Chains A and B, each alone.
Chain A
Amino acid sequence: MPVYFFTLLLNPMPLNVEQIRKDFPILERETQRGKRIIYLDSTATSQKPVQVIEAMNNYYRRSNANIHRGVHTLAEEATAMYEGAREKIAKFINAATSREIIYTRNTTESINLVAYSWARANLKAGDLVILTEMEHHSNLVPWQMLQAERGIQLEFISVLEDGLLDLDDYAALLDRNPKLVSFTHMSNVLGTINPATDIIRMAHDAGAITLVDGAQSVPHLSVDVRALNADFYAFSAHKMCGPTGIGILYGKSALLEAMPPFLGGGDMIKEVKLRSFRPNTLPHKFEAGTPAIAEAIGFGAAVDYLSNLGMDNIAAHEHEITAYALERLEEIPGVKIFGPAADKKGGVAAFTLEGVHPHDVAQILDQDGVAVRAGHHCAQPLHEKFGIPATSRASFYIYTTKEEVDMLVNGIYKVKEMFG
């Protein structure tokens, strides 16, 4: 039996949500006159606490300089801050060394890095890559592009009606000698937390390398890449209280060492001649050009912020809110929720309301300051699987309260009235 995450949480401490909300100035904002914003779109991007905003401001106010190779004080400070953030991030996901932490722009670029560097060096025509039907476009399109270029084969682990992966289907696919299994740790639509440890172990038993899309899991769960035994693990800062424009590719150093560079340019080289170059050592080998320095520092501050709260405490809070939200939403006639029960999912509730398009639901909710997302959430094939063009999606984070869920529910009743 696969072990799902919430069976593992031990004695979490309740979050002091009232105190946390004071760290997020944007939550004071009114988007509609007299109505404070109710931000239920953290799965798209989370809000940012003052600690993160200030860390980036301080860097620009006091320490701004380009990193590496500089010997003056500012350059040294900037380098130390940039590399210090990498250390924090490595520790946060329990990587063996910060050399395994590659800065990228976001999860999408991290996946593309593996597709361009590792896959183009290791996959040939006919080689099998296993994905799942619940992938975000960012873990579909890079492989479709490689399929068009190289003639690799793609197969997809089925999603069952209850939103869980069909692990029997997966076991059958593994008999076909796959080279790579690339899957999301947590679905951005269904909220399903996949049994990553089992999926990875089964892949390794079949001789395949694994890549995990952790865009939704790292912000919400305690993730330990060594316990998971993941070969590659990708995630973004902006969904976990950090800034946009910076993400991470974690890779086991033996794999990263053997891979050709990705983008060419400054900083990724050890030596350059007119007709040749030698690549730099890890992690710089994969970091060409001046990177997002302030954003990396902001990412480090975000990791500090979440670590102080405790990832297990965060997961427990979101679980409580999600269970409450599912219960309240299920009461509403005409509402259909997609994905598994609360004990197998993260803080996401994607739903449809009979007779009303999700865009209209989102727009009318916005009138009361309730921010939800509507559309296919970059998972069009998953929506097609369930026979719907789009869903409305409410998502929850460390600052979400039950009162906000109540406002969402009241808003949906109002939508029903308008479309009556």
Chain B
Amino acid sequence: MDDLYREVIIEHYKNPAYRGKLDPHDISFADNNPLCGDHIQIDLRVGADGVVTDARFDGHGCAISQASADLLIESIIGKPLEDVKKLNKASVLELLGIDLGPVRLKCALLSLKVLKAGIYGLGEAGDELVE
């Protein structure tokens, strides 16, 4: 439990490094967690070589959802989109450094679902994207 609110999570929640929007952008997508109304938008810029050159997230939600979005964005800048597509549940948990129950897992994974739905050009950020 005290792990769940590790300092690093509170820190990313209160002072996110990558909160904001990118204009222009190459990819932008937003979706909600219907359980609690958490909302995440992610904007990406992608170079001609397929590498993520810049990224931001925006939205609102609990500490877990917002911190995980910030950590996720930090981890993908400079990475090829092909590598980003391979990220899954385990990658996010590794970024957060904690284990989560099924309800809070939804909060933690929202940003990755939004990111992948944006990359694949899908209409909805479904659970299958992070399995």
Contact = CB atoms under 8 A, between A and B. Distances in A.
B10 interface: yes
Given A357-B63, A360-B63, A389 B5 contact: no
Interface string B17-35: 0000000000000000001
For chain A, what secondary structure do more than half of its interface residues adopt (helix, strand, loop), or is it mixed? helix
Given A357-B63, A419-B10, A389 B38 contact: yes
Contacts of B79: none
B63 A383 contact: no
A375 B35 contact: yes
Contacts, number: 51
B104 A363 contact: yes
Given A360-B62, A363-B4, 16 more contacts: A357-B61, A358-B62, A359-B36, A359-B64, A359-B104, A363-B5, A364-B5, A367-B1, A375-B36, A376-B36, A389-B37, A389-B60, A389-B61, A390-B36, A390-B37, A419-B10
A401 interface: no
Interface of B: 1, 4-5, 10, 14, 35-39, 60-66, 104, 107
Contact of B10 (A376, A383, A389, A418): A418
Interface residues of A, number: 17
Nearest to B107: A359
Contact of A383 (B1, B5, B37): B37
Contacts of B66: 357
5 A-B pairs with least C-beta separation:
A359-B62, A357-B62, A375-B36, A389-B37, A360-B63
A389 B64 CA distance: 16
A374 interface: yes
Nearest to B10: A419
20 contacts: A356-B63, A357-B60, A357-B61, A357-B66, A358-B36, A359-B36, A359-B38, A359-B62, A360-B62, A360-B64, A363-B1, A363-B4, A363-B5, A363-B62, A380-B37, A383-B37, A389-B36, A389-B39, A418-B10, A419-B10
Contacts of A383: 37
A356 B60 CA distance: 11
A52 to B, nearest CB: 27
Contacts of A418: 5, 10
A123 B14 CA distance: 51
Contacts of B4: 363
Contacts of A375: 35-37
A367 B2 CA distance: 9
Interface string A338-367: 000000000000000000111110011001
